[in-house]
Structures are given as C-alpha cells and as structure tokens.
C-alpha cells in the first residue's frame, strides 16, 4: 500500500526531500504544494539574477516534478486555501519545506527609518518576487551601506554595481534594471562586524568583486591578517587562506580606476542608523576579536549613505499551528520530526546556512524518519486534496502549466537574457 506525502514548499529543500523519498524504496505518492505559482523557491527568487549557472539545478528539480509519482500544486497556500490541520488529515506525512523567509532582526536605533531594507526584501525585489515587487527602494543615492559579510551581502553589492552589459545574461526584471542602472551610485560599503577570516564569503563570489567592469574593490591592508589563526580544520583553513589571498590582491587598487567602488570594511559593527525619518548615514563601532567574537572598542565612526541593506541572515516564520522555536527561529523539531506525521526540512528546520545542496542531508534524514515512522498508508492523499481545492475554487497551477509559462518566459527574453519573468499571476494565466 503506497503512502501519501505532502511537501509544503517547492524550493531546494522541498525538491531534495521529494527525490530522497522516491529513492527510499517505498511506494510513495508525493504532492508538492507551493503558495506562489512558480516552483523552485530561492532558485528563482533568491539566487542572484546574474548567477544563472547556480539556477541550472532547477532542471533536475523539474525532472522530479514531472515524475510519475509526483504532482505540483502551485498557487496553493496553506492558511489561505487549506489549513495545515486539514492537510495532515489528508496525508500520511506532511513535510514543511517552507524556508526562512524573514530577515534576522537587527535591533539598533533608527533601523525603522525609510531607506533601511532587509536583504530578504531587497533580494526578492531584484528577483521579481511577487511579495516584493512594490518595494520601490529609492536608489537615487550616491552611497549604500551593506551590513553583513555573507554571500547574500556580496550578492547585493554586486548586483548594485554591475553594469547593464554585465547584467545582459541575467533575468533582472526591467523595473529593477531601470532603478539600479539609473542610480547615481558611486560607493558601496560592506561592513563586517568581525574580520576577513571570519567573513562567510565563498571565494568565487569574493574574487568576482575584483573583476567588475565599472567597480573596484577597496581594502585596508591593515585589516588583513598575515595568516589564518591556528585551530581551524584543514578545509576551512584552505578556504580562509584563499579569501585572504583574494583580499590581499585587492589591496592598492586605484579607487579612481573605475567609476564605482566597493569598500570592504571589517571590524565595524553597526550601532545606529542616522537621519531624520530618512537614512542619511550609519554609525558604526570599531571592534576587536575576543575568543572569536566581536567586542566594541568604544571608537565610533559614521559613514554617509542614502540606503542601508542589512544582510545578516534569515529567520523562519511561525507556520500555521506547527510548533515554533522562537529562540532559534525555526519550526520546533528533533532531527526533522515535528509531530505525528509532521516533519520539517531545510532552513525551516535548522540554521539558515549552507549552499543549495546542503539541503540534501536533511532530505535523506527525513526520508529515513518517514520510512521508519509511517506504517501502511491509510490517508486519502491526492484525490481528496484535488476535490477540496476544486470545491474551494482554488486555481492551482500544475507542472505542465508551469512548463508552458516557463517556455513563454524564455520566448519573451531580451537578447542574451535567459528569460523574462512574468510578474503577476494574471500574466501567467494569460499564457494558459
Ligand atoms: P551568513 O552567511 O550567515 O552571513 C551573515 C552575516 O551577517 C555574517 O557576516 C554575520 O557576522 C553578519 N551578522 C549577523 N548578525 C549581525 C549583526 N547583528 N550585526 C552585524 N553583522 C551581523 O548569511 P547569508 O549571507 O544570509 O547567507 C545564508 C546562506 O546562504 C549562507 O550559507 C550562504 O553561503 C548561502 N548563500 C550562498 C550563495 C552562493 O553560494 N553564491 C549566495 C547567497 C547565499 P558574524 O559571522 O559575525 O555573525
């Protein structure tokens, strides 16, 4: 007897767990529910629009979605169209792969001023995410501060300073291209509260900052240590050494050699957003490291900027009536188990770090949990969901329909671009 599994969320975590369930050897019918019409979550709406190679994994996910035992239910929202309790009644197992859509809070004075934007919203905006298209950030500014030293911070900085020519092969929406390329931006400040060794940039991303057409990286040599401190695992040490070498290569670049600059500033913790209502600057405190942590030195400095983007990591949101661990900002779980027949994977279940394939580990673990926990399937699954959605008049997008929408996006692309994303459900439905 097959078991029925509903996966909520169609990002990498959702698709990896679908693939793991199919490999687990049990006869399993899988339905993937997604609140947006478009599948693939952060692949479409989080990965930077100029990093198309990273998005190729969507092809593999698409093969999973088109498989015999899998159905895609796009534009179906838990809490709006069906409750989590109802879903749990219909399926032997429900897996929450709902990600960590919020920015971690940055509780400093002035954070609520106009012109301070969390990276989740800013990245969503330049990726055409339906929730953030109306963000309309004011980019009529000459300098921007980006807080954080992770890959999201570097994505934000890079997308802001790349030229139109460098973005040709991207799927940056036209409204974002107009705002970014029409901006008088000259300087981006990247602030890390700790040092270059502690920065989370991967080396490819960091190196890219040294090869931009109109932007030069600026680094203070006094902030780059001679060597990686002892006590680090070999692999981490090698990665850190590469980053230090890359940063050393940036030292001495001529600030006037390009029209824009990205200033890497380490040991600088944000303390206050300055300005009356609108951002006019950022106050920071110099830090030093004590046992690896940033400790304020009491020395403060200000930078002028008209926009602050904080990219300090993500946090999950409470999801319907699933138990939530407020301290860790994740769905409360033990190794992916949330409750009877309820599981979580990916950023909803653990710290929101790692690359796309990091989700595979959780997926395999939860697929094993399910194999161990669920006996013979005894819930109605897909036919019952389809019936319920039909009764409620929900316009579900299935995977074949998404295929047509995706093909139209590709056909509509500007020369050199991979696709032109549809920005509304209405435009997508017009294609169908
Ligand atoms: P992240 O790697 O965790 O970086 C967050 C940064 O914010 C860290 O530098 C952290 O500093 C800093 N931070 C946290 N709280 C702060 C505070 N109160 N004040 C100042 N700084 C603060 O997170 P992310 O950049 O959002 O990326 C999430 C994951 O996605 C990462 O694993 C990343 O590699 C991955 N990702 C990968 C790519 C890619 O491969 N191209 C692209 C995007 C994202 P501390 O270290 O001092 O806490």
Q: Of all helices (H) and strands (E), which one includes residue 31?
A: strand 28-34
C-alpha R_g of the chain: 23
Give the domain CATH number at 189: 3.50.50.60
Tally the domains of the chain. 2
Candidates 50, 111, 200: which one to mutate for ligand 1, based on the most atoms within 8 Å of Cβ? 200
Strands, E assignment, 44-105: 70-74, 93-96, 102-103
Higher confidence at residue 348 or residue 26? Answer: 348
Domain identity same for 146 and 251: yes
Verify whether ligand 1 is closer than 6 Å to residue 203 (CB atom).
no
Q: Phi-psi category of 261—alpha, beta or left, where left has phi over 0 and alpha has psi -120 to 50?
A: beta
Residue 217 sits in the same domain as residue 297: yes
Nearest 5°: CA angle at 93, between 87 and 96? 70
pLDDT (tens digit, 9 = 90+) per residue, 232-287? Answer: 999 999 999 999 999 999 999 999 999 999 999 999 999 999 999 899 999 999 99
pLDDT for 160 beyond 90: yes
Residue with tokens 């954080």: 148
Half-sphere exposure of 94 (CA within 13 A, CB side): 25
What is the C-alpha to C-alpha distance for residues 354 and 151, in angstroms, rounded to an integer?
Answer: 10
Tens-digit pLDDT profile for residues 82-113: 999 999 999 999 999 999 999 999 999 999 99
Give the Cα separation of 115 and 168 in Å (integer).
27
Residue whose CA lies nearest to ligand 1 atom number 7? 312
How far apart (Å, rounded) are the C-alpha atoms in residues 63 and 16? 12
pLDDT for res 1: 77
- What confidence score (pLDDT) does residue 126 get? 98
Ligand 1 contact via 198 beta carbon (within 6 Å): yes
Same domain, 286 and 257: yes
Chosen domain end from 264, 284, 313:
313
Give me the CATH number covering residue 358: 3.40.50.720
Q: Same domain, yes or no, for 96 and 26? A: yes
Identify the pLDDT of residue 277: 87
| Co-location of 307 and 335 in the same domain | no
Closest listed residue to residue 40, CA positions, set 13, 19, 76, 71: 13
pTM of the model: 0.97
For 95, the domain range is: 3-101+316-431
Q: Tell me: pLDDT of 315 over 80.
A: yes
Indicate the SS3 state at residue 291: coil
pLDDT in tens, 329-338: 999 999 999 9
Q: Are 206 and 355 part of one and the same domain? A: no
Q: Are residues 190 and 281 in the same domain?
A: yes
> What's the confidence (pLDDT) of residue 25?
83
Please report the atom of ligand 1 found closest to the CA of residue 46. Answer: 43
Same domain membership, residue 407 and residue 386: yes
| H or E segment to which residue 391 belongs | helix 382-391
pLDDT band at 231 (very low <50, low <70, confident <90, very high): confident
DSSP state at residue 47: S
Distance 148 CA to ligand 1 centre (A): 6
């Amino acid at each position: 007897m097959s078991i029925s599994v509903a996966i909520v969320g169609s990002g990498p975590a959702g698709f990896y767990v679908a693939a793991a369930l199919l490999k687990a050897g049990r006869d399993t019918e899988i339905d993937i529910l997604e609140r947006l019409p478009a599948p693939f979550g952060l692949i479409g709406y989080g990965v930077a629009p100029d990093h198309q190679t990273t998005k190729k994994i969507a092809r593999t996910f698409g093969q999973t979605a088109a498989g015999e035992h899998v159905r895609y239910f796009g534009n179906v929202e838990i809490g709006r169209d069906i409750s989590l309790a109802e879903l749990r009644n219909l399926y032997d197992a429900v897996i929450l792969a709902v990600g960590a859509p919020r920015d971690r809070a940055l509780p400093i004075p002035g954070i609520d001023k106009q012109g301070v934007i969390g990276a989740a919203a800013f990245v969503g905006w330049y990726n055409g995410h339906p929730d953030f298209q109306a963000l309309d950030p004011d980019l009529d500014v000459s300098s921007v501060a980006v807080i954080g030293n992770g890959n999201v911070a570097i994505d934000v900085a890079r997308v802001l300073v790349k030229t139109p020519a460098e973005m040709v092969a991207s799927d940056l929406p036209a409204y974002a291209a107009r705002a970014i390329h029409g901006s008088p931006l000259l300087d981006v400040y990247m602030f890390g509260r700790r040092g270059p060794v502690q920065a989370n940039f991967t080396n490819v991303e960091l190196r890219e900052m040294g090869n931009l057409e109109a932007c030069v990286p600026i680094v203070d040599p006094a902030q780059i240590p001679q060597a990686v401190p002892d006590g680090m695992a070999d692999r981490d040490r090698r990665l850190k050494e590469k980053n230090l070498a890359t940063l050393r290569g940036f030292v001495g670049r001529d600030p006037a050699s390009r029209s824009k600059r990205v200033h890497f500033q380490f040991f600088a913790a944000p303390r206050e957003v300055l300005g009356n209502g609108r951002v006019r600057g950022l106050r920071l405190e110099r830090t030093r490291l004590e046992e690896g942590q940033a400790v304020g030195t009491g020395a403060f400095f200000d930078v002028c900027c008209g926009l602050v983007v904080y990219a300090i990591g993500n946090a999950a949101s409470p999801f319907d009536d699933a138990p939530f661990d407020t301290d860790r900002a994740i769905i409360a779980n033990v190794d992916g188990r949330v409750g009877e027949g309820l599981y979580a994977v990916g950023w909803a279940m653990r710290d929101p770090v790692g690359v796309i394939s990091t989700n595979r580990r959780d997926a395999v673990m939860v697929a094993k949990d399910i194999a161990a926990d669920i006996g013979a399937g005894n819930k109605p699954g897909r036919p019952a969901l389809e019936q319920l959605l039909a009764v409620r008049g929900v316009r579900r997008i299935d995977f074949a329909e998404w295929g047509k929408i995706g093909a139209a996006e590709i056909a509509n692309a500007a020369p050199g671009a991979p696709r032109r994303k549809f920005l509304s459900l209405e435009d997508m439905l017009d294609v169908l």
